Amino acid sequence: MTVSPFDLRLAGQTVVVTGAGRGIGLAVTTAFLAAGCTVVAGSRRRTEGLDRLLRQSADLTVVEVDLATPQGPAELVAAAVAEHGRIDVLVNNVGAVRPRLDGFLATTDADWEWTFAVNFTAAVRATRAALPHLVATGAGRIVTVSSVNARLPDPLVIDYCAAKAALSNFCKALSKQLGPQGVRVNCVSPGPVETALWKGEGGMAATVGRSLGVDPADVAGNAAAQAATGRFTTPAEVADLVLFLASPRSGNVTGADYLIDGGLVDAL
């Protein structure tokens, strides 16, 4: 039988997605379900988007869990293994950012600890919990959503940049250890994305706009204009890249960090 070149060969696989309630995580969850996967979605609370997917698919399980807590990621992984007996793919997506409008000196230890817990340590803990199951498959895959800010330091989000830089470095180092065990580890680093993190009521554009006394739409427009394409990336575009890296179609790709930023980053 001839296999379509567009078939990612993911059908029947079990996928764990962190931060799946909205934005990129919801798009990733939707895309894996469309590819025929069973998805265990971790979210701090049920969302309208997840409820809609639950009505549409029996292959989705939603686990309400705070992934920023020490036990949260392990609880999510344990729920997936208890229900399905295996994990083929882990997508470390959970993340959040708070603009530091008053500068570095106003960014407290608690601010730094929160940022690293959400954007770095959650992925470390989820990976630690899932790794024995990924190794057991002989062909496990980890795809982590990092950020262009891992390589574009910005004082407005100084703690977020540091956490994402640590996350990308962690994934690269881990890929070297796990390659001989058949587990591939890759990163996806988006620029600004059409999500609530950027365009929601409490998002970057609104927060910075209020601080500067300008229209949030102008803040978002200025950010989009920095990309060569002149626009934000969509969550579905990020999800497409995540699925490719999670699929057998990406073959020998490991330790890579793929920018999806509309040409925002100038350096090669």
The catalytic residue positions are 160
Cα–Cα distance, 18 to 65 (Å, whole number): 10
